[in-house]
Structure formats: C-alpha cells, structure tokens
A and B are shown apart, each in its own frame.
Chain A
Amino acid sequence: MRLNSLLSTSARWGRAALAFGGTVLLTGCDLNFWRMDGHQSTIVVDGPVAVSQRELFYVTCWVTLVIFLIVGSVLAYATLKFRARSTDEENAVPPEQGHGNPMIELSLIGASVLALVIIAIPTLKGIWYTHDVPEADKANAYEVNAVGQQWWFRFEYPNEQIKDVGQLVTSNELVIPAGRPVHINLRSLDVIHGFWIPKLAGKVDMIPNRGNFLWVQADQPGYFWGQCAQYCGDSHAVMRFRVIALGPKEFNDWLNRQMEPARSVKAQPDLPKVQLASYRTEFKRNEKGWSDKFELSPLDSWRAQQEPDPKHEDVALILKGRATFQAKTCVNCHTIRGNEGMGVTAPNLTHVGSRTTIAAGLLENNPEQLARWLRHPDEVKPGNKMYHGIGGMAGYMKKDDNGREVPNIVLTESDISALVAYLSSLK
C-alpha cells in the first residue's frame, strides 16, 4: 500500500519532469545556461581587462553572498520562530513593546561599512586599471578608431596610411593584434552607441562630441562577438560587430592585404561559365543568418574567407556586378578603393569579400545571405539607411513631394546575383 502510493508519487514527479524536459527540448534549449559561456560571456573571458572586471565582480558576489546568507538566516529564523501558530497566539497579550537597541544598530552599521570597504578597495584599483593602457605598456599599444553610426561600425587604422588615400578603413569586423594592448578611440556620427566586446572588456559609450576611448587586449588569437549596448533606434538589436585577434605575422599579412586596392577581375572571354549553386531566396523576417558550420570554428572560417577562389568565379557576372554597383548608385555611399566609389556614409566595401559577416555582424557573408540582404534590407535591418536613404540622399526608397516614400533603386534578381558575385570577389 505504502509502496504503491510512493510509486504513484514518483510516477507523477517523473511525468512532470518529462513534461518540463520535453518543453525545454522542444524549444531546443539546454539547461546549462548557468554556465554563462556564450559568445558574449562576461564570465568566460579573455584578456586582462575583462579578467580584472570579472574578478571584481566575484569579490562583490562573495561579499554580498555572505551577508545575504547571514541576514537571510536571521530573517528566516525570526519569521519561523516568532510566527503565531494559532488564533490564540495571535490574540495573546502583546509582546514586550521594545523600541530598539542602539548598540546593535551601531555594530551593524560598522559591519556594513567594513563589508563595503572590502569591495571599495578593489573597485578603486579596477577603475584606474581598466581606464587606459598601463603606462609601461603604452609604447607597445596599437591604436585604432571605432566610429558608430546607425546601425554599423566603421574601423580606422591611423597607423596604416595608404599613399594618396589616407588611413586604412574597414567596417564591422575589427582585426587587432593579439598579445598587445589595443587603444580604441570611440566616436559617434549620429546618436549614442555603446561599444561592447564582452569577452575582452566592459563597454564604453560612443557619444557625439565626446572623445571616449577604451583599451582591450586579447591574449590569444581569437574570434569575438561584439554588440552595440546603448539603445540607438530601430535596429539597435542588430547592430553587431566582430573582433578578430591575430598573431603578429598573421596580423601583418592581413594589414598588407587590406592596404592593397580592391581586387580587380579582368575579362577572360575563353574561360568557361561557372554554374552557380542555387540557393534559397525566401526568408522569414528575423530569420537567423548564420550556418552551424561557421559556428564550429569561427576563426578558421574567417581564415578561409581571406583568399580569392578564381576557379569558382564567373568573371562575366563579376564584371556585370561591378557595372551594376555603379549604375545603381551604390557608389554614392560606398567606397571600393581602387575600383570605384568615394562614399563615406556607408561601410567601406574594398575587401568586403574577406569578411565573415555582412549587415553589421548580423548575417554570415555567403551568397545566399548577401542576396537576402540586397533583396530586402528593410526586413533584415528595420529602418536601415541603405533602404530609406541618409542625409537627403535617397536609398532604395526616396521621398516624393508629399514626403511619402516611393521606390528609387529597383534591383532585379539578375542585378542581385551580379552584385553578389562582384562583392564576394572583393577578397
């Protein structure tokens, strides 16, 4: 009898657990979220800045946890011990009407102050340490500028001057040397953005008219996720970027390739036409824009993206894409240094083919996603300037005399495949 009831109880619990587990599995979740080891973890981190911030967090955690346990036990004890258990107890003669005890108060205030001092000392140390590159390392620090705009990031390399052009400019993927402090100047051209690479350092805001900066150091080569942290309008949630840290040699190789003008494909009439693989053309709004293969080893995926692949290119299509890029006025906003375009209001696309992501870290850089982006930029990134226009310049849409939006740039499917081929060739 007793066993029976025990069995039925455990069966009930088992079913409940199964139901819960089933719900969790259905949504494709795992229950390891408490490990906090995601791409933007502030716990599983890399580099001295993020480590010092995490260690300080641990100090605050331990101090408050100890206080919580002490105060919580007293509170729980008092609640259970002094609880009236019956109506009689409730209506009994009232307890002693005591008004307090100054000595208890004073000692508790003293203890609180002491606990806060334990937190305050590492806090002060941390404030100075995380503020700027340590004096001793200043000479070794590498300098870059990061500029936020709705809703993408431009990265400038003031140390790398290209003859007759100026500093090296890339967008949305910041490549830095590993093992060296990097001093990043933060600027904004429109509203306030927040520059945050959780695994490398806490965020600092990019504020118009304000010269902010932060420093980071990646101890090892790696591929890091970053995201705008300050609400900046419609597409704030999809204003993302990547940071790639490379060893000294690889970093220099990358710099040298980037300093080159854009790759220019020459017409070779006898080359056979490459059959392009067919890919999906319909996407749901907000649908994910990356493949699981990319996830396995993002840094290797990045490396694989660097070299051109002349064997699998349709030169005619690329050349058509280059012409389309000009004809459809893309050049007004985008620069492809060496080929055409002088625009600075939109991301520099000189070596866009060598990046792992497009649309500010949102979509994986492959023909399928590139076509999706070119086809419906407004769905991928609500409110974006390529679609709606920027600063009086029209985009896919323009304003008519009544202030209504009417189509301006119309891309056919053949335009899109040509543009995809061209942009992908820009390694």
Chain B
Amino acid sequence: MDATVKSHFTTKEEHAPAKPLIFWRPTAKTGLISWLTTVDHKKIGFMYGLFALFFLLIGGCEALLIRLQLMVPNNTLLTAQQYNTMFTMHGTTMIFLAVMPLGAAFFNIIMPLQIGARDVAFPRLNAFSLWTFVAGAIILNVGWFLPDGAPDAGWVGYAPLTSKAFNPTHATDFWVLGLQLLGVASIAAALNFIVTIINLRAPGMTMMRLPVFTWMTLVTSFLIVLSFPAITIALVEVMMDRQFGTNFFEVSNGGMPILWQHLFWIFGHPEVYILILPAMGIISEILPTFSRKPLFGYPIIVFSGAAIGFLGFTVWSHHMFTTGMGTVATAAFSLATMAIAVPTGVKIFNWIGTLWGGHLKMRTPMMFALGFIWMFMIGGFSGVMHAAAPADAQQHDSYFVIAHFHYVLIGGSIFALLAGIQYWFPLVVGRVVSDFWGKLSFWVIFVGFNITFFPMHFLGLNGMPRRTFTYDANMGWNTANYIATIGALILGTGIGIYFTVMIYTFFKGQKASRDEWDGRTLEWSLPNPPPEYNFRVIPTVHARDAFWYEKYHQEEIARENAEHAKEDEAHGGIHMPFSSIYPLVASCGALIGGFGAVYHNLILALVGGSILLAGIYLWSMEGAEGYHLHLDADGNPVEDTHAKH
C-alpha cells in the first residue's frame, strides 16, 4: 500500500503544472493530519462511530444521574435546574450525537461496500459533514463548561419556554446553533448518500438487488433531506426571536407558540424513523446471514421501509394530541398513526419468516438482533396504544411514553446498532469479538434494560409525569422508580462490559478470518480490513445476495473479474482521490460563526462565515484530483502513476 502513496508534487512527469501552496494536498496515510484531512469513507465512518460512541457514553451518564435522582422520593442529588439540564441534554445527545451519527457511521463504512463502490460520490463533502457534526456537538455541549450552563428547555424546546423572557442565558442559543449545524451536517451527508446509491452502484446492482441496509440508507437519507428543513426554519425563527426581537413565538405581540410544535414535529416524527430505519436495515442483514437463508419477502420489506418513510410525514400531530387540535384533526392523525403499524408489523412477520427453516447460528450479533425483534415488538405495541388518541390523553407526557420510546430507541435502535457493531467488527477491524463476552454483555444489557423500562409503564399509568425532578412518597411511585434505577445500573454495567470487550478486541482480539460469518452481501467479499480502494475490480452483480451468488459461481466470477481488471487498466487503473484540508477549514468556519451567532457578535460571525465560504470556494477550486493505482491479481500494487483528475 505505502508504495502507492506519493504526492503528485514528486512526480517526474514534466507536464505537471506547479500549483500554488494554497492548494496543497496532504498525502500522509497515517498520523493526525491523515485523519483530519481524509476523504476515505471508511476512515470518516470510523470517526463518526468513535464520536457517536463517546456521546453515547456521555448521554448514558446523564441518564444514570437522572435515574439516581429519581431512585427515592424527594431526593436532593440534583437541583431542579441540574435535573432539567440533564434530561434536556440526555435527549438531545442521544438523538443527535449518538444514534444518528452511529447510523451515519454505518452508512459511511458499509453502504459503499455493499453497492460495490470505491467511495461515496462526494468524498470531501463527506469529510465536511463529519467535521460540521463535530462543530455542532461542540456548540451543543460547550455550555457545560461556561457559566450560562448547558441547554435546559427540553429536547423538544417548546416555545415560548425557549424565548429570551423565560430563558435569558445563552444556554438556549447553544442549543439552537448546535442543532442548526448538526442539521447542515446531516443534510450534506444525506445528499451524498442519495447520490452515491443512485449513481455508484456496481454493474448489475439494480435497485431491487440492493441490500436492505442500503435501501434503508436511501430511505433514511430522503427523510433527512425532507424533514430537516422544517426544524431549520423553526430554529431560525427562534433565533430571530431571541436575537432580533421578532415575533414568531412572542405571545404578547400575537406570536403563535403552537407553530413551533407543528414545525418541530414535522421534523421530529420523521426523525424517529431516521433513528429506527437504519436499525431495521441492520437487522435485515444480520438475520439472513445467521439464518443462512435469504431475507423472507425482500420486496415487501423494502416497500414497507419506503412506506414507513412516506407515512412518517403524515403523523406528526400524534405528538400533539393534547394541544386541543379538535376532533377531526385528532381523528385523522390517530388513523394515520395506526396505518403506520401495518408496514412495521409486516417487517416483523418477514423477519420471523427469515428465521423459519433456517440454520440459526446463535452468535452475538444474532442475539442482539433477536433481542431487537422482541423489544421492538413491545415498543411497537405501546405505540399502537398511543395512537388511540383518547387513551393517549392519559399517557402523553407520562412515564408510559418514556417506557414506549425507550423500548423503540434502546430496544430498537441501540440494540440493532450494537448488533451491527459486532456484526461488521471483523470486516472493519479484522478482529472478532469473543462470543462468550459478547453474549454476556447482551444478556446483562437485555435484563438491565427491561428492569429499567418495564416498570415505567406502570409509573405512567399511575400518573407520574415526565421531566419532573422530584416526586412525593405518597403517590405510589416509589417501588417502580427504585426498581428502574437498579435496572439502569445493571444496564450501565452491561454497556460497560460491551465497550470494555470491544476495546480489548480492537487491540488484542482474535483475528477474524475473511468472510467471518459466511456473509451474503458484497462487503464480505473484501479482505479485512478492506483496502483503501475497496474493490480491486468493480464486481458485477448477478443476484440479490451478490456475494452468496459469487461463492457458488466462482469460475464465472473469476473470468468476469479478469476481463474487468483489463478494462480498468485500459482506463488508467484505479482512480483514488487526494485528501483535502478544506472540508475541515470550512467546518472550523462554521464553528466560529456559530459562536459569533450565539454571542450576537457580528465580527466573529462574519469571520466565521468568511472562513466557511473561503473553505468551500477553495475546496471547489482545488479540483477533484487524485492518483491511479495499478494492482496485480493478488491486489499488490505494481506501479503507480499520477494523474490530474
């Protein structure tokens, strides 16, 4: 590999025009600079994953503090203000800084490998998404270290609680600007994934041969592109109200607080599916692999995923059944919400159909996947209960809702993401997590999770409202709260075991064999860890489970690959892009500009904005340059030349 790495500045080609220093392209493949300037989708995805796991632990610690405060009635561990900050940041962190970027990590690493591509369509835009996400995360969390404190208006930030009158410090400004930057990062990444999936599929990889995970990446990306503008507008309105005294939500001047809720949930409900569809995609990969059978009812699963994405835009007001929408609107959103249960249920039927008649290999990823189905079923059923609007009037904003969405988001999303980490670990890292420790962590997490959240159903039905820092001992809530806290400590222990084992495996674990799980999709055809160029020869796809087909038609595939390798060579070899500093520069501009906006500092905002624009301008001027690789049949580089594009 290293022999291929040479800057075009050192090339002996005479016609290479000298570039001004401003267009310097880093060429290092290791070291800090290489990570900061990389455009390799696997490295970017890996960093997405690291940041997401870091924030998953932060959000988990916030959750533990919440549970410790509620362990006994009238507890004084946290003050009201600290508690309110804790649940606000727990929600915001888990959704925007943990589960979403963890999904993005999988999209980045796995999706191009599944479609037989050498990178995403816009590698530098991908880097920009990552660093802008980091900038947003910094702004969201910087309040912890400043006198104003971290945001405390709830993760839904209902107006007018976010207005200057009720939240005079900068904490809410951090929240607004942080989310705004995260939105930019998400939309840029989603557009990138959409273009990649539509344009960079290997020959023969028709849409109905796409692995389900890639399909869910596509649907999720469309959801992000279509739903984030709604919250962007809403956040701009809050920012205008706070910074320039406009009247979008200012009641005394005729503003409408209810407007925020509509805009927020038009984003917020699709966001729920942004969190769960990637999980469903991961499950739809793991179950066939460990059942050694194709997915049952692939077209229906794909269609259900798209239908969920589509219906996801028609149900936002079921978060608002108690806002006095009137009978007709309530009925409409109630029925639409029930309708969404059908495609969701269909997926569960098909997953069971996949198991049926298979040879189930009970490895850790499979355990998490089966745990996912059970927990997601429970969360789905309590979701149907919420759809019955009059019953929801009792459940809304109570612990019943807390139980419901944690069953969907932990039992659903997090279980699937943990399954996905273990599933693709051998491919990405080249080491395999010990089955014993993996299963142990699964059982501790599974038991702890249920002890934590199942009693919350009872708490909610017994009238305990959410977002309350204290409760009295005479309400009949003591036991369930106590049990839930014990469960949370067990859950925390399980997550601790999981991460410890993962870190150990990363450095010292058992080496994985190639195609560790007898995989079915193209990523498993690669050596582990995959080389920077992914595929020596772009594969030709003949069937839905492309790699499974390859395994049973090896001669045909070898013949094809040899032909394609020749064609590639005729076109100059494998084209690889250069790294670039400008995505990072542009994101730094966004970070500085964000601080300028928070502190209402025009100079800082202009400086940041200028750096952002300059970064984007220079990045488009430096050109999509790269170099060519030439590989022999074993994947070893034979020579390398350099080209300008």
Binding site for B on A (CB under 8 A): 24, 27-34, 36-43, 50, 52-54, 56-57, 59-61, 63-65, 67-68, 71-72, 74-75, 78-79, 82-84, 89-90, 92, 94-101, 104-105, 108-109, 112-113, 116, 119-120, 122-124, 126-131, 150, 186, 190-192, 194, 196, 198, 201-205, 207-213, 225, 227-238, 284-290, 295, 382-383
Asked if B357 contacts A24 (CB within 8 A), the reply is no
Q: Which residue of A lies closest to B390 (CB)?
A: A126
> Given known contacts A68-B378, A112-B342, is B297 in contact with A105 (CB within 8 Å)?
yes
Asked if A194 contacts B482 (CB within 8 A), the reply is no
Contact of B390 among A40, A79, A130, A234 (CB under 8 A): A130
B613 interface residue, CB < 8 Å from A?
A: no
Binding site for A on B (CB under 8 A): 72-76, 79-81, 84, 154, 158, 160-161, 165-166, 251, 254-258, 291-300, 322-324, 326-327, 330-331, 334-335, 338-339, 341-342, 345-346, 348-350, 352-353, 355-362, 370, 373-374, 377-378, 381-382, 384-385, 387-398, 455, 458-459, 461-480, 482
Asked if B257 contacts A99 (CB within 8 A), the reply is no
Contacts of A57 in B (CB 8 A): 385, 388, 391, 394-395, 461
What is the CA–CA distance of A68 and B379 in the complex, to the nearest angstrom? 11
Contacts of B327 in A (CB 8 A): 127-128, 131
What is the CA–CA distance of A64 and B299 in the complex, to the nearest angstrom? 26
Asked if A202 contacts B296 (CB within 8 A), the reply is no
Asked if B385 contacts A61 (CB within 8 A), the reply is yes
What is the CA–CA distance of A64 and B296 in the complex, to the nearest angstrom? 24
B611 to chain A, nearest CB (A): 33
Contacts of A67 in B (CB 8 A): 381
Asked if A213 contacts B324 (CB within 8 A), the reply is yes
Asked if B359 contacts A72 (CB within 8 A), the reply is no
Asked if B257 contacts A207 (CB within 8 A), the reply is yes
* 17 CB < 8 A contacts A-B: A29-B478, A36-B461, A42-B461, A64-B384, A74-B352, A94-B293, A95-B291, A95-B293, A95-B359, A98-B294, A100-B297, A211-B324, A229-B398, A233-B166, A234-B81, A284-B76, A285-B76
Asked if A79 contacts B161 (CB within 8 A), the reply is no
Contact of B388 among A56, A74, A208 (CB under 8 A): A56
What is the CA–CA distance of A27 and B478 in the complex, to the nearest angstrom? 8
What is the CA–CA distance of A68 and B383 in the complex, to the nearest angstrom? 13
> Given known contacts A75-B374, A202-B396, is B322 in contact with A231 (CB within 8 Å)?
no
Contact of A230 among B158, B339, B474 (CB under 8 A): B158
> Given known contacts A24-B482, A100-B298, A127-B331, is B393 in contact with A204 (CB within 8 Å)?
yes
Asked if A116 contacts B342 (CB within 8 A), the reply is yes
Contacts of B84 in A (CB 8 A): 231, 233-234, 236
Q: Which residue of A lies closest to B328 (CB)?
A: A127
Contacts of B357 in A (CB 8 A): 82, 95-96, 98
A167 to chain B, nearest CB (A): 23
Asked if A41 contacts B298 (CB within 8 A), the reply is no
Q: Which residue of A lies closest to B72 (CB)?
A: A27
> Given known contacts A130-B390, A208-B257, is B356 in contact with A82 (CB within 8 Å)?
yes
A259 to chain B, nearest CB (A): 31
Asked if A127 contacts B334 (CB within 8 A), the reply is yes
Q: Which of A27, A79, A202, A212 has the most CB of B within 10 A?
A: A202
Asked if B296 contacts A41 (CB within 8 A), the reply is no
Contacts of A75 in B (CB 8 A): 352, 355, 370, 373-374
Given contacts A101-B297, A131-B327, 12 further A-B contacts (CB under 8 A): A33-B458, A41-B463, A50-B394, A53-B391, A95-B358, A96-B293, A120-B338, A124-B331, A191-B166, A237-B465, A382-B79, A383-B80
Q: Which residue of A lies closest to B355 (CB)?
A: A78
B510 to chain A, nearest CB (A): 16
Asked if B338 contacts A39 (CB within 8 A), the reply is no
Q: Which residue of B lies closest to A381 (CB)?
A: B80
Q: Which of A50, A82, A90, A123 has the most CB of B within 10 A?
A: A123
What is the CA–CA distance of A78 and B354 in the complex, to the nearest angstrom? 10
Contacts of A53 in B (CB 8 A): 390-391, 393-394
B383 to chain A, nearest CB (A): 9
